[in-house]
Structure 1
């Protein structure tokens, strides 16, 4: 056992043995005027202590200050193990919100923009094995609307759908030792049709006469091995053909994972570098209105998961908390989630992989618009594309991810002409398709669909009356589905939808609905809200939940849905669990409502005439 916070290995799909976790107590100081550099904070000791990787707004950080913080500083000693002599030392940050600058012994060694995505810096030139150096981090977190912030409040208090901010380090910081010529993170592409895995192994440099080797294992031992030359391509590719007797598809019912051993070899066959990984053999396809998993329709019973915690804010208090959230969702009948308005830490995806949980990867950019006013949430910039590409690179190989959603609820009239929102929306869509041809992409979830060739079309609808909800959702059967409008409280559908390009027959689903407001015992003075009027009784809640879910399960044009939401989040009290994850409802009853065969699944099961 260890008292170190979040001690587990942070990158479970590319594991090396030589690493050192830097979580724990760091020196810390607020810098409200962002003048710390001029005041010499790079060189001197800081005034306070903080527990990394928890943000200073969180209770688990030991600080719990939820005010705005223009800049914060971190400092700690790092000792490079003597046995790392001759190896390169890489400094990793899981996520720092929002702009980070890094110094080693007073020398700037790197910088990064983006509060949701990881970055790494080779610090070999600035440290020595067996010696101690000083690491200093400055994180800037402005109120600028061009900063992608997800659901972080731009007002002092939490309100409506905006929550407590996260500033600075909020995911694991760690050191890794790698050979001077080494493997980079692999890209693993499943090929169900050929019963194969394609493993691309980028290298820091080629090895004359060298090779890369990949060994695939299951519970019975070695399945297959393969090699490729490491001297003619910066990203050698090995195809592993899996024999039929050992082929086992990954699915929610059977989340089978193969183990992978990765090696970089010199001309004599000696190992230069090695790492461990894993993979799932599964496919995602589109046929008509259906989204297929391994060639069959699997109705996506998704839940909106925002990944907030009462004491950790955006950082899970422990690895066990990540596992619990997935299992809670599965217990009430969901088979997956929209990972909403933040890039979830990679440990979460690892658990989704092994637990058979379908997820849509998303960025944190809610409500982007171009006619920006000071109280608006976010306005798009080219930096969104850069940061999204970092997320795609990190998460490409996770089998649990079955789709991508770069933007959420963007807002702009079609009649406004081409704007920066069009550029960024199309840029993020094209970047996603260039990085990954194997998964469907939604250009923007809800409201402003801007890319005609978007793979998926969706809408958000929080109508609470099941009969009215059915009238709107059934429009997809006519070929002209419900599309979000400016006056979304008015469920009427105008002849033209000024927010979106026309629907072209893509698979369609309601990717946000429900949000039923339920908090039977609010504390005195506690702010609380949800969608619509609170049900008058617990039984009324079940009736409303059942009615809304039935509308979507019974619609043969609907390939899935996403219910809002898994847990309460601060004042937004429309979750199926309280914020502390204690239950609100009978899990078996909720599971029974969701578990019956959906209409689109029944069509696939029906015998052909």
Structure 2
């Protein structure tokens, strides 16, 4: 059979030589997590699974949706002979949640966190032309202080909690590298100077070595730069783009530049080479306005949770990733909150090339320090795992903001400072790692960081009149805050929500709508959505149009995020069914959204009406 998900999993840092290890692996469920004691490291496993699909999914060939405290994988691979003389790296794009890797009987790596990639250097246990037996144990209790997004803590999925993912759920692959080799670059656009900055790390000896970068567009080479690698800890290069070759990345024109990176020695010999790309675009804040390339672009976002009926969190194919973006754009959205899941890099690659604005988000819904709640209790590991996300995705031009936390709860007890510290820690760590994008301290509910770049609310009021009344306070600097209808800040909310005072930041309603509509295509007797379901399609359209208009017509609102793109299991409030069939007239949905927003009108000069046309 063909290898599933065989496309390169890391298109923004790709070498020519690599080997996809997706496909059939030996597999065994270890429900009591006693496999190590029972010798699973050293013996054949009882079952078989199709990687990279999780064992809960039907695509994996397992389809076991019960709790699995631990799962094991085993595969023996032959390392290509032609890789002789180079190190071999074993890459895991994502394994949920607590992973240990053995190769040829030796423990080689541990990684905690289900969202981000990690690598294993096989140099000490396997070389080109040899066989490597890879054994993976993944522990995933789905309880306690674990960032797990929307994964259900019950046996079943229910309301807005979904079928769990355990173990390997993204691509596994091998890659040969030189003894001295390039590390993933950070690509930072500087629109004001017309420069794309490249910050490249190097592993191994670097005396006498240089890094060479070449920037190209569809017409060929634009510019080159070279710098010695043995002067500074990091090697920074600047690629100047002449004005006649300068195209700013934006939704209307998602221009990308190809970037070739080489590590060369003193005689000009290429020791390592990788391909990347970048976009020239800027993000800035002016008062309550978020600017893209110096102009307001109203962010018509949709909540996208990235679940699939047969793959759970793993898209069945690369084409499915593209389809979801195009469905959203057809409905009139220009971007998405990638919600409660760190999407795979291939998705961001397609966002980059299609001009789709996204907010990068961590999967930690409802973090709560309450001793009586077994939820995703925040710890220092939240900060560690989130920084891995930011580092992985830093260079994608499509990402216009970061969201470390979502709908956190603060309660009055002696552990209250834990969530305060983690919230501030994640915000400050994000700002330290990336000074080029806005950061929201926590989306919805409790804002705790006074200097947060963005302020928001989640509001699922279904009556457009009441929804409009709640949003009117923004005009006088008293925006709607979750749990606080009177808006005197700060104070302790009855339900444990508390927010610092609003300071005039850009504001958007980052979750609204969620209109419950159970279609005939995906029928469900116990479907779930927000509020009372409309009694007719016409009522649905009226409600959607009026809710959207409230936010489009607010001159202080820089965007919104409608819940949601697709139904997900029993949560049936999407614009598309879980199988991606449309539920509504997309032309009408699109028409309701694509008129010019009030904040865009106030920015542009009235004597230049041509600028108001999209």
TM-score range (shorter-chain normalised) is: over 0.9
Answer yes or no: is the 8 Å Cα contact 1:466–1:544 preserved in 2.
Answer: yes
Deviation at 1:606, TM superposition (A): 2.9
Structure 1 range deviating more: 413-422 or 597-606: 413-422
Give 2:194's aligned residue. 195
Map 1:88-487 to 2 at 5 A. Answer: 88-374=87-373, 376-413=374-411, 419-485=417-483
1:201-232 C-alpha deviation (Å, 9 max, x unpaired): 11013522221110000011000001111111
- Separation (CA, whole Å) in 2 of partners of 1:446 and 1:225: 45
- Separation (CA, whole Å) in 1 of partners of 2:6 and 2:564: 29
SS state of the match for residue 181, structure 2? coil
SS state of the match for residue 470, structure 2? helix
Deviation at 1:595, TM superposition (A): 0.3
Structure 1 range deviating more: 144-153 or 573-582: 144-153
SS state of the match for residue 162, structure 1? coil
SS state of the match for residue 292, structure 1? strand
- Separation (CA, whole Å) in 2 of partners of 1:141 and 1:461: 32
Deviation at 1:607, TM superposition (A): 3.7
Answer yes or no: is the 8 Å Cα contact 1:414–1:500 preserved in 2.
Answer: no
SS state of the match for residue 404, structure 1? strand
- Separation (CA, whole Å) in 1 of partners of 2:110 and 2:83: 25
Deviation at 1:106, TM superposition (A): 1.2
SS state of the match for residue 385, structure 1? helix
Give 1:26's aligned residue. 25
Q: CA RMSD in A?
A: 1.5
- Separation (CA, whole Å) in 2 of partners of 1:60 and 1:399: 32
Structure 1 range deviating more: 163-172 or 225-234: 225-234
Deviation at 1:64, TM superposition (A): 0.4
Deviation at 1:370, TM superposition (A): 1.0
Answer yes or no: is the 8 Å Cα contact 2:522–2:577 preserved in 1.
Answer: no
SS state of the match for residue 402, structure 2? strand
Distance 1:578 1:524, change over 3 A: closer
- Separation (CA, whole Å) in 2 of partners of 1:513 and 1:492: 19
Name the TM-score, length of structure 2 as normaliser.
Answer: 0.96
Name the TM-score, length of structure 1 as normaliser.
Answer: 0.97
- Residue 551 (1) aligns with residue 532 (2): no
- Separation (CA, whole Å) in 1 of partners of 2:344 and 2:479: 35
1:273-311 C-alpha deviation (Å, 9 max, x unpaired): 000000000000000000000000000000000000000
- Residue 508 (1) aligns with residue 498 (2): no
- Separation (CA, whole Å) in 1 of partners of 2:124 and 2:299: 49
Answer yes or no: is the 8 Å Cα contact 2:11–2:345 preserved in 1.
Answer: yes
Matched length: 603
Deviation at 1:61, TM superposition (A): 0.3
SS state of the match for residue 125, structure 1? coil
- Separation (CA, whole Å) in 2 of partners of 1:352 and 1:11: 14
Distance 1:24 1:354, change over 3 A: same
Map 1:35-114 to 2 at 5 A. Answer: 35-114=34-113
SS state of the match for residue 476, structure 1? helix
Deviation at 1:526, TM superposition (A): 2.9
SS state of the match for residue 571, structure 2? coil
Unaligned runs of 5+ in 1: none
- Separation (CA, whole Å) in 1 of partners of 2:153 and 2:486: 32
- Separation (CA, whole Å) in 1 of partners of 2:301 and 2:524: 33
- Residue 569 (1) aligns with residue 568 (2): yes
Answer yes or no: is the 8 Å Cα contact 1:50–1:61 preserved in 2.
Answer: yes
Distance 1:213 1:414, change over 3 A: farther
- Separation (CA, whole Å) in 1 of partners of 2:114 and 2:222: 40
Deviation at 1:537, TM superposition (A): 0.4
Deviation at 1:454, TM superposition (A): 0.3
Deviation at 1:139, TM superposition (A): 0.3
* Structure 1 ranges of 4+ moved more than 4 A: 413-418, 491-497, 522-525
SS state of the match for residue 474, structure 1? helix
Answer yes or no: is the 8 Å Cα contact 1:204–1:234 preserved in 2.
Answer: no
SS state of the match for residue 194, structure 1? coil
- Separation (CA, whole Å) in 1 of partners of 2:186 and 2:313: 27
Distance 1:94 1:206, change over 3 A: same
Answer yes or no: is the 8 Å Cα contact 2:5–2:316 preserved in 1.
Answer: yes
Answer yes or no: is the 8 Å Cα contact 2:4–2:317 preserved in 1.
Answer: yes
- Separation (CA, whole Å) in 1 of partners of 2:523 and 2:298: 41
